[in-house]
Structure 1
């Protein structure tokens, strides 16, 4: 059982356009509305592949009710927590070459009482869980150590915690010894203060996170693939995307695939890359199902530290 927590869920509207031109009237080629938030997407990806999970989702306002309705329509097993502020809405503009421009609202503040209620719901839901996934940005006014506190609480109970966040929340969580962190290239650079220009830089930054407390680091590098540091091993892998549609949710699919495959070693790493690549080939934040996933396309190779990473990866 995998429990996911999304403190700052969203309605995600993806609009496909021919090209982005500032100040112009742009006609949409297609549009879709999906439930959003990193933990929500992890649960959606697991459900699409028939892996059991439970999503803890605070919601508020008309947007929140619409979010819950969309999740219910997908069949997500969830525990909802009403809050006073409205759920945020995000917009992604997707171009034919896979370039995605995102506009994310900050979300609504959670009061200390609301945050305590959410924490109690997570504790109750995680009673028989193998993993708790704490992921996504924090709403305004939520303390940056909230994920770190979850790591300490669940770690003491023998429950693994995976953290996928950024900035001070990631730094605080790493110090609390999570079982797994899943930063992207930008987040690696931000939390370590390094410029991530090569594969060697990414590996060194991931090692620094392990030195600070994270037991496993799964780092996504955009079009350059991903690296996994676990125990005393380093894996590097990539998987080509024939027709990129949207990168929204690809990192969440990667984390879901890794957990679904047992979160250990090369086999789980291959699964993570295959799920993430499949997500990039789908519109909006749609999560891949078994028919979308091509494990045979994944290439796991030796990590060449001198390999330059592509601009914007």
Structure 2
């Protein structure tokens, strides 16, 4: 079973405006609401790709109920812990450029955390846990480290999709997969990564620390994978980019879906880049038929 962890979910409230003008009334031409949060996005894509999974995390208030209703509609299994307050709303304004305003989430008390840890304790050997997104300021900054230690005791693979100090602290625990973009990879070493060659060099340094697989997303240039089996670069297919939200999460979900099918990281990378690209070319997260249609367009180069 794959478990995703979203510590601070959201409703993603997407508004499309032809021409945004500050300081006056703007009217949206199109409005969309989605359950949000990196782990939830991974769960939604995994389900669409036919891979069973369970979403863990916290919800609160009427906005949390909306998320659970949508998860039920999409047939996604969840074990969210209900806490006081309200799940945050993140506004995504799409105009000439994209602007995001992220709300504040609820405060998780000690009782809520204990309930979450009981749910998390259900993981067993052979499972995969996806730790995705940032840790809320109201929680211990070591939250992911605490969870990855519990995974190690049960021989559970861990996928980490976060950045900054949180990611740096986790590397010592040798996760199965991390997915920094080239900016986040550079931040780990205090450098600016300018090209693919440098990205490979710094991914190699992380691999030397015991991280099995490092996917570095290169925006429109696709992604590279540094693994024990080899170093691969996947070129992104051409298409009209409609949505940047969730593309990286879709890449993670696609990789896990591909890996669950083949056990081959090269094929998993191809599936991941197809999923990430399919989301970028859609208004919402990708559907399976869209991913399948792009697979043959993903060229994998062995470095």
Give the TM-score taking structure 1 as reference length. Answer: 0.89
The number of aligned residues is: 298
Question: After the TM superposition, which segments of 4 or more aligned residues of structure 1 sit over 6 Å from their partners?
Answer: none
Q: Deviations over 1:141-163 (max 9, x none)?
A: 21222112222221221110101
SS in 2 for 1:248: coil
If asked which structure has higher relative contact order (CA below 8 Å, sep 6+), I would say: 1
Which residue, out of 108, 116, 119, partners 1:121? 119
SS of the equivalent of 1:81 reads strand
Aligned to 2:65: 65
Residue 287 (str. 1) matches residue 275 (str. 2): no
* Equivalent position to 2:106, from 105, 108, 112: 108
Separation in structure 2 between the aligned mates of residue 103 and residue 188 of structure 1, nearest angstrom: 25
- Structure 1 residue 184: Cα displacement: 1.9
Report the CA distance between 1:275 and its aligned residue.
Answer: 0.3
The CA distance in 1 between the partners of 2:172 and 2:125, in whole Å, is 25
Structure 1: which 5+ runs fail to align? 304-313
Correspondence 1:242 to 2:239? yes
Q: CA deviation at 1:268?
A: 0.5
Q: Distance in 2 between matches of 1:154 and 1:89?
A: 31
CA shift for structure 1 position 127: 2.8
Distance in 2 (CA, whole Å) between partners of 1:107 and 1:233 is 41
What is the match of residue 308 of structure 1? none
Question: 1:270 maps to which residue?
Answer: 270
- In structure 2, the residue matched to 1:159 is 156
| Residues 275-301 of structure 1: per-residue CA shift (max 9 Å, x gap) | 000000111xx2212211110111222
Matched residues in 2 for 1:264 and 1:155: separation?
22
Aligned pairs (5 A) from 1:100-249: 100-124=98-122, 126-127=123-124, 130-231=127-228, 233-249=230-246
1:53 Cα deviation from its structure 2 partner: 0.6
Deviation at 1:302, TM superposition (A): 4.9
- Asked whether the 8 Å contact 1:148–1:174 carries over to 2, the reply is no
Q: Which shifted more, 114-123 or 103-112?
A: 103-112
Which residues of structure 2 form unaligned runs of 5+? none
Q: Is the 8 A contact 1:144 1:168 kept in 2?
A: no
